[in-house]
């Protein structure tokens, strides 16, 4: 029995909110106190199927 390979291509968009202790750490982008994804969108552009023998 052959196996089926499914390949999905698409795009993702997100908003990442980070909280920092100080302005210096925020400027450098180091040591965030918290990270939270506020909004995420996934768009599937194409789906392909093929047999793998």
Identify the pLDDT of residue 20.
Answer: 95
Q: Are 35 and 16 in contact (CB under 8 A)?
A: yes
11-36 in b/e burial notation, b at 16+ Cβ within 10 A? eeeeeeeeebeeeeeeeeeeeeeeee
In whole angstroms, give the CA distance from residue 5 to residue 30. Answer: 40
Helix (H) or strand (E) holding 43: strand 34-52
User: Which pLDDT tens digits describe the chain residue by residue (53 residues)?
Assistant: 789 999 999 999 999 999 999 999 999 989 999 999 999 999 999 999 999 87
Residue written as token pair 């990442």: 16
């Amino acid at each position: 029995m052959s196996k089926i390979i499914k390949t999905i291509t698409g795009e993702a968009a997100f908003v990442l909110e980070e909280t920092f202790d100080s302005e210096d750490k925020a400027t450098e982008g180091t040591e965030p106190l918290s990270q939270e994804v506020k909004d995420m969108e996934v768009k599937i552009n194409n789906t392909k199927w093929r047999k793998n023998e």
